[in-house]
Structure 1
Amino acid sequence: MADQEGKYNIKAAALMLGVQPGTLRAWERRYQMIAPVRNEAGHRLYTDEHIKILKWLIKKVNQGFTISQAISLMSHTHTQMESETINLKQANPLMNLTDSLYDALIHFESDKVNEVINKLFSIFSMEKVIGDIFIQVVTKIEISYKSGNLTNAQRNFSFTFLKARITTIIHSLPNNVHLHKAVCISFSKEGDHFGLLIFTFYLRTKGIEVLNIGTYHSLEDINLTMEIIHPDLFIISCEDKKDLKEALSLINQLSHNYKGLTIGLGGEAITEMDHSEKKHFSTYLLGQSINEWEKWLIERMVY
């Protein structure tokens, strides 16, 4: 009976599971997949059995299922949760569809691309498709292009197609006028700014209004933009190491001139920063994944 005793409060459970307490509350409220016991003060207490169930669900979410699909799968048969032997067809929709999307893109099959993308959105969450699957495909295309296995036309078609789908979705997401406004700028004078587009999508899913002002030109332009827009966030994307010094200089200028401004730095150039630079600018570093972006935003803003 020990596994049926309430042992862990919600903070302890969230720490064990690697999720936010708010995520657990939302799942319980919406799906009622577990019912934590309550102590005398009315606080949730999770049993070992609850933790076991939640760990299994989180594992499925990390494999690409939405939480509702994972719960449906669990309720369909508990033996799956015990044995962890999921049918190969169920376990690998992500791998098969990711490969299909890549193949359709590099063969210029527009109808097939749309078909696969629509299938992805019917199976996985919007965040999973755009923030994970599209990035995987773009990375694979970039590697293939640089190794000489794809033409410039194949690369451009693929990137343009995916960017168009993401942009359409971004424009369809509602703004929350009571929340924050962000300005995004890139130091890449060439390239596809794909990472910045993904981050724009992430901010828009939070209801934040995002204004992308393109490529950096001068501090004077930035100051005029700040006077007009008065943003709460200023996001800088830097992909090339040669632009990093200027990007870091802009951060110093902005942090000095606009005390209440939250500033973020993202892009491949971050990986080229030395240890001392990373330490000095650590408060500005967004990270490379949606999970890291989430943590960064939670620590700096209320939304």
Structure 2
Amino acid sequence: MPVLTDAASGVQVSASLEQQELFPIREVARLTGVNPVTLRAWERRHGLIVPTRTESGHRLYSMTDIERVRSILGWIERGVAVSKIGTILARSAPLQPLAHLIPNDLVQADYAQWQQQVQAAVSAFDEIQLERIYGQIFSTYSQAVVFQDILMPVWKQLLHRQDRFGGSSEWLFFDGFLRDRVLQRLLLNRGTDPRRVIVGALAGQCRELELLVASLFLGVGQAGVRVLNIGQLLDELPLVCERIRPEALVLFSNHLPAADLPRRLNRLAMSLECRLLLAGDASDLAEEELAGSSIGCLGHDGDVMCQRLKQFLAGNLDT
């Protein structure tokens, strides 16, 4: 089998890296654009990455590690200091309800196997096979785990690989597949009165699928969730809420909050007769600035968002 040699370490690694799911530092640098010096600094100074070590001490990175590197890059691009990213990542770590029964490395390995199957079906543009895998994953895991820990990481990975030939087509295929399935689930969950909670995106702050998945999480156990189209004007939300009369308006954002966001949200809240809540990554980042205001922060983890929404609507959780 052909091998590659890491110029810095002399470690020989199989050319079929993606199948082995272990990557030397030079390959991680190529895939992410982050140089090895920076990767080592993130590990040593900030503890942001913990790669596997060989017996000789060389670093090997899993696909989970690579997605974490991309997540770190995303936060840096949004203006978050590296020293603060560790706290954000720790706070946003997915819940593992069976962690006391199944070692985390086995759970992650199972996630990775499903992700490999999904990626293979997407690469072949095989919707029938993708539908079969999608159903099998749902028969194994909860809705939050399926989207948050298995499918959306693949979606994000494909999103970041659109610069390679065929990458854009693969992402569009998978994005369309997931949007259709999430919309189906949202319709099934709407119930007879899909007006209790309406969910919208702050302009330019997320992609449609991210908004739909967040709405799916928020709709668990609720009388109904209605999703506003991407591009909804913030200034016209009071009119929308006046007509629909929801109990809560949830605004979703995955971007670093603008400096004037708390002021804008507080002004919006004063013009609403329903509760105003913020969800997504921006919720975690703006929580301190919004403390003491009438605006509730739901976070971005699927189970946590749903739980906090229920508590806010029941009046059991204050801002």
Task: State how far apart, in whole Å, the 2-side matches of 1:158 and 1:262 are.
Answer: 35
Partner of residue 127 from structure 2, selected from 88, 92, 110: 110
Contact 1:187 1:236 in 2 (8 A): yes
Contact 1:104 1:110 in 2 (8 A): yes
Structure 1 residues not aligned, in runs of 5+: 1-57, 64-80
Give the deviation of 1:190 after TM superposition: 7.9
Aligned residue in 2 for 1:217? 233
Matched, 1:294 2:306: yes
Partner of residue 137 from structure 1, selected from 123, 148, 154: 154
Contact 1:263 1:284 in 2 (8 A): yes
Report the 3-state secondary structure (helix = DSSP H, G, I; strand = E; otherwise coil) of the residue aligned with 1:61: coil
Give the deviation of 1:116 after TM superposition: 0.8
RMSD (Å), alpha carbons: 3.6
Bigger-Rg structure (1/2)? 1
Partner of residue 257 from structure 1, selected from 267, 271, 279: 271
Task: State how far apart, in whole Å, the 1-side matches of 2:311 and 2:117 are.
Answer: 38
CA distance 1:104–1:246, change in 2 (3 Å):
farther
Matched, 1:198 2:213: yes
Structure 2 residues not aligned, in runs of 5+: 1-94
Give the deviation of 1:218 after TM superposition: 4.6
Give the deviation of 1:96 after TM superposition: 1.1
Contact 2:217 2:302 in 1 (8 A): yes
Structure 1 residue identity aligned to 2:176: T
Give the deviation of 1:187 after TM superposition: 2.2
CA distance 1:212–1:91, change in 2 (3 Å):
closer
Report the 3-state secondary structure (helix = DSSP H, G, I; strand = E; otherwise coil) of the residue aligned with 1:263: strand
Task: State how far apart, in whole Å, the 1-side matches of 2:313 and 2:283 are.
Answer: 22
Aligned residue in 1 for 2:196? 181
Give the deviation of 1:181 after TM superposition: 0.8
CA distance 1:279–1:199, change in 2 (3 Å):
same
**More helix as a share of residues:** 1
Contact 2:218 2:306 in 1 (8 A): no
The TM-score, its normalising length taken from structure 2, stands at 0.57
Contact 1:105 1:157 in 2 (8 A): yes
| Identity within the alignment, % | 15
CA distance 1:223–1:263, change in 2 (3 Å):
closer
Give the deviation of 1:287 after TM superposition: 1.0
Aligned residue in 2 for 1:67? none
Contact 2:281 2:299 in 1 (8 A): no
The TM-score, its normalising length taken from structure 1, stands at 0.60
Task: State how far apart, in whole Å, the 1-side matches of 2:118 and 2:223 are.
Answer: 30
Structure 1 residue identity aligned to 2:299: G
Give the deviation of 1:92 after TM superposition: 4.6
Report the 3-state secondary structure (helix = DSSP H, G, I; strand = E; otherwise coil) of the residue aligned with 1:227: helix
Aligned residue in 1 for 2:32? none
Contact 1:255 1:263 in 2 (8 A): yes
